[in-house]
Structure 1
Amino acid sequence: MKKQGMLNSEIAKVISDMGHTDTIVIADCGLPIPDGVKKIDLALKIGTPSFLDVLNELEKELMIERVTLADEMKTDNQPLFLTIKDKFTHCDYVSHETFKKETKKAKAIIRTGEASPYANIILTSGVIF
């Protein structure tokens, strides 16, 4: 039995299969999941697990080159936006509609219990060398 790190086997598998520029999404409980994209559903109830709980754990496991956020997060979820902006130096911003289209390219979407506006992020994998 694994004793530390990512215990969720589906998430661990997706991360270990990712290469440079592959993407994985962390989503609030309302983001639509495109057909054909793997959904890893962690949502237990509203707020659990939170978006930040999941993001903080993925940061430990994945080499993140850049992140993509919806422009709307800047005004409609400013506390979360400021937290993410402090964590990552390479942030891209797109409309929420474009964001949803970009999720079609993701290796997986991790659905959280988060219920705050635009609490979604696309993580682009970097390289470790």
Structure 2
Amino acid sequence: MLKGIPSILSPDLLKILMEMGHGDEIVLADAHFPAASHTQKLVRSDGNTIPELVEAILPLFPLDEYVKAPLTLMDIVPGDDADTSIWTVYQEKVGPYSFEHVERFEFYKRAKQAYAIVATSEHAQYANLILKKGVVKEGERK
């Protein structure tokens, strides 16, 4: 156990967050997402929700400030009547950062190219979230 590291972050997830470089992406996948078939680096975070993980990850993980939107959501499939209130929760957690919305199959392509996928127990529809890593600036490494 370490001081200052949220216990929700497993050793495997911390290792992956440390390995990632500027521009690498990580997918926080909801319980509906086909995570295992879309990656070679799967991290299980069973029992945890995506908002809980976002809250634990962001103090340690800089988002990319050199892109318009360092966060990506899967857009609603046309004709689907889904509740996307989870997106409001995300905006509250990330503050001023912008989100990009991409079509479902484009999201799947991006997920296959991501550094890793974290499979969660999040049950909200359209809750999948991609985080693009930024640069840890001098003075932030305390």
Question: Is it true that 1:54 corresponds to 2:53 in the alignment?
Answer: yes
Q: From 17, 28, 31, give the equivalent of 1:29.
A: 31
The TM-score with structure 2 as length reference comes to: 0.78
**Cα deviations by residue, 1:96-117 (Å, 9 ceiling, x for unpaired):** 1111111011111111111111
Structure 1 unmatched runs, 5+: none
Q: What do residues 55-83 of structure 1 show as CA deviations (whole Å, max 9, x unaligned)?
A: 1111122111211111219x723311122
Decide whether the 8 Å contact of 1:25 with 1:109 is kept in 2.
yes
* 2:130 counterpart of 1:126: no
Shift of 1:35: 4.8
Question: Alpha carbon RMSD of aligned pairs, Å?
Answer: 1.9
Structure 2: stretches of 5+ with no match in the other structure: 65-69, 138-142
1:5 and 2:5 equivalent?
yes
Aligned pairs, number = 124
Q: Which of the pair has more CA radius of gyration?
A: 2
Q: Residue 106 in 1 paired to residue 135 in 2? A: no
Higher helix share: 1
Letter in 1 for 2:26: I
- Bigger shift: residues 118-127 or 3-12: 3-12
Matched, 1:76 2:82: yes
Instruction: Kindly indicate whether residue 103 of structure 2 is the aligned counterpart of residue 95 of structure 1.
Output: yes
Identity of paired residues, percent? 26
Amino acid in the other structure paired with 2:5:
G
- Match of residue 67, structure 1, among 64, 71, 79: 71
CA displacement, residues 82-101 of structure 1 (integer Å, 9 cap, x when unaligned): 22234252211101111111
Whole-Å Cα distance in 2 between the matches of residues 18 and 106 of structure 1? 10
- Equivalent residue number for residue 140 of structure 2: none
Secondary structure, in 3 states, of the residue corresponding to 1:60?
coil
Instruction: Please name the residue that 1:39 is paired with.
Output: 42
